[in-house]
Amino acid sequence: MRLQFSIYREHCVEKARLIGKTNWLGAVERRPAYQAAQRGQAGCCRDEGGLRRTRAACKVGTERDVGGSHGLKGIAMGWWRLVYNQVNPIMEILRPIPPLAWIPLSILWFGIGDAQNQFIIFLGMFFPILINTIVGVKNVDPNLVRAARSLGAPEYKVLSRIVLKGSLPQIITGVRIGLGVGWMALVAAELVGANSGLGFLINDARSMLRTDTIVVGMLTIGLVGLLIDTAIRTLGRKFLPWSLALSK
């Protein structure tokens, strides 16, 4: 009993000594701010695998959500009531499940690597884009649809030239929201099941009490999110100049 108490007391003394040497940010050694930023930037720049996986995951997620079958699913659910009634209950069951809850299954299915992180970012992007696509299709001006049909336009031209173009501003909004949620989900997934990436870098720096790397990693996450959103808005203004919502 005395031996256990002695070991515990030595552990507490060592921990108190370490905390006493720690500044308010948790850094073991005090260093100038610019040195902390330089060391944190060096750690983030060495993580090329995580940045490569982030670019690939964003590309795959965007292609699947907007250009693939899921984009068509959103248009079909917004245009045909029968499809909406059949598919919507399943989507509403899956939608409340957070992407992070899928991490254990994704590791079992895909292992730790690019496929697992792409699956998580895809789940984070899918539902915001799907819901905004449905809302955009339902908000298309019915007078334009009736005018096209009265002029003899077939159904596929009504969908491609009226419904799709009329719902694109709302779809772009869904892409902005989806990329933001997917980016956050990717970083959170890297905290748990990855051997590289910004999330892994922050978690590894936490165990080493490297608050400089943690802060720079957090700022990098915010700056990358800002760049993604700015790129989406710029593309929206370029390809949809007639949209008042995107032009402001």
Which pLDDT belongs to residue 56? 54
pLDDT at 77 over 70: yes
Is 53 inside any structural domain? yes
Which pLDDT belongs to residue 52? 56
Q: What CATH number corresponds to the domain at position 189?
A: 1.10.3720.10
How far apart CA 203 and CA 214 sit, in angstroms, is 8
Is 28 inside any structural domain? no
Share of the chain above pLDDT 70, in %: 69
Is 68 inside any structural domain? yes
Is 222 inside any structural domain? yes
Q: What is the mean pLDDT of residues 54-58?
A: 56
Is 164 inside any structural domain? yes
Mean pLDDT of the chain: 75
Q: How many domains is the chain built from?
A: 1
Summarised one tens digit per residue, pLDDT across range 206-215 is 888 888 888 8
Is 7 inside any structural domain? no
Q: What residue numbers bound the domain in which 43 lies?
A: 37-247
Is 3 inside any structural domain? no
39-43, 193-197, 222-226: segment of lowest average pLDDT: 39-43
Would you place residue 89 in the very low, low, confident or very high pLDDT band (cuts 50, 70, 90)?
very high
- Does 237 or 194 have the greater pLDDT score? 237
pLDDT at 91 over 50: yes
pLDDT at 43 over 80: no
Which of 47-51's residues contact partners 24+ apart within 8 Å by CB, and which partners?
47/196, 47/197, 47/198, 47/200, 47/201, 49/196, 49/197, 50/190, 50/194, 50/196, 50/197, 50/198, 50/199, 50/200, 50/201
Is 1 inside any structural domain? no
Would you place residue 85 in the very low, low, confident or very high pLDDT band (cuts 50, 70, 90)?
very high
- Does 80 or 2 have the greater pLDDT score? 80
Summarised one tens digit per residue, pLDDT across range 117-176 is 788 888 888 899 899 999 999 988 889 889 988 988 888 888 888 888 888 888 888 888
